[in-house]
Copies of this chain bind each other. A is one copy, B any other.
Amino acid sequence: MRSYRYKELVPRHQKRVTLEEVARIAGVSRATVSRVVNGVASVDESIRRTVEKAISTTGYLPNLAARSLVTRRADAVALVLPSEDRIVGDPFFTRIVRGVSGVLSPLGVHLVLMTTSADTGDQVVADLRQGRLDGVILVHTYRADPLPNRLVRGRQPVVLSARPADPIPITYVDVNQTAGGALAAEHLVARGCHRVATITGSLDRPPGHDRLAGFCSAMARLGQPGVICVEGDFTRQSGAAAMRRLITAHPEVDGVFIASDLMAEGALPVLREHGRRVPDDVAVVGFDDSSAALSCDPPLTTVRQPVEDMAAEMARQLLKQVDQIDTPIRSVIFEPSLVIRQSA
C-alpha cells in the first residue's frame, strides 16, 4: 500500500527555521508571527516590523506540509492531458500549459502534470482525497471517460477544456466552435470559392462535430449546400491522408476548410504534390491559429482560438471552485476570430 522507497529514508539535514524560532527571536508568540506571515491586519505596526525583521534575518519560510495539514489546501492542481501519443508535437497543449500556469504560478499553486493511462482516474481521485490536489483540469477527455462524472459526483473541483460529449453538470471553457466553422465558410465564399470541401476532426468529439456543423450550416445559408466532407482525427498525418483522398476523389475543389492547423500542415504539401497552388487553385482555411499556422507554406489563414486565454479562464474557474465549494456551474464560451494570412 505504500512506496517501498520509504524504508531507506535518510534524514535530510536542513536546519529548518520554524515559527517557534522566529517567535523567540522577535520576542512574541508563535501566533503573532503566524499572523504577520499571513498578513492579518490586526497586528500592531511596531510588532509587525520586529517580526518581519526576525523573519528576514532567519530566512524563515513556512512549512507547507504543516500548513496544508490544517488549512486542508494542497495549493496544487492537476492538469490531465490525453495519453501522450496525440500530444506529441501538438502546440495546443503547450498553449494550455502556458495559459494555466500564467495564473497559477503567481499564486504559488503548483501545476501537476498527468497524462491519462489506465489508472489516472483512480490516481486523481486518490490524490484529491489525500489532500495532495485541490482540483483538476481535464483536457480533451475521451467520450466515454468516467472521470468527469466521478469528480462531479464527488463534488470535487473540476473544469473541462471543452463541452463534454454527454451533457453532465460540469464547468467547461470552450470556444464557440460552430461560430468558428461559420467564419471559415464565410471567408471561403467571400473569396469566390464554388467547390468547397472540409477536412474534419474526430467527429465523435464535440469540437470536431461542432466545427463541421457550423461550417456546413453556414455554407447552406450562403447558398452552397452539399459540402464535400472528409474525416480526419486532428493529427498532421490524418490531414495529409484526408487531403490525398479528397484531391483524388474531387479534383475540382477550390476551397477547403481544415478543422485544425496541424492537419492543414499535413495537407498543404499534398496539395503541392498534386500541382495545386495555394491559394490560387485551392484556398485553405485552418483552425486554431497555433504556431503550426505560421510554419505552413504559405502561412495559414485560420480561425483563431484564444487558447491561452481559455486556459487561464479554466484555471480561474477551478480556483473559484476550490475556494468555495458548490460554486455554481458556469461555463465560459470564447468567440473565435478569423486571422487572414496567405492561404485563403
Contacts and interface: CB of A to CB of B under 8 A. Distances in A.
Interface in A92-112: 94-95, 97-98, 101, 105, 107-108, 110-112
Contacts of A115: 97-98, 101
Interface of A: 1-6, 8-14, 16, 36-39, 55, 61-66, 68-69, 71-76, 79, 84, 87-91, 94-95, 97-98, 101, 105, 107-108, 110-115, 117, 123, 126-127, 129-132, 236-237, 266, 269, 290-292, 295, 297, 319, 323-325
Contact of A130 (B62, B112, B127): B62
B65 A131 contact: yes
Contacts of A113: 79, 97, 101, 111-113
B98 A105 contact: no
18 contacts: A1-B38, A6-B38, A9-B323, A10-B324, A62-B130, A65-B66, A65-B68, A66-B69, A69-B69, A79-B113, A88-B94, A88-B291, A89-B89, A89-B90, A89-B94, A89-B290, A101-B115, A105-B117
Given A105-B114, A115-B101, A323-B8, A74 B65 contact: yes
Contacts of A90: 89
Contacts of A68: 65, 68
A33 to B, nearest CB: 11
Contacts of A94: 84, 87-89
A10 B132 contact: no
Contacts of A290: 89
A148 B297 CA distance: 40
Contact of A325 (B4, B6, B12, B319): B12
A177 B229 CA distance: 47
A153 to B, nearest CB: 13
Contacts of A73: 9
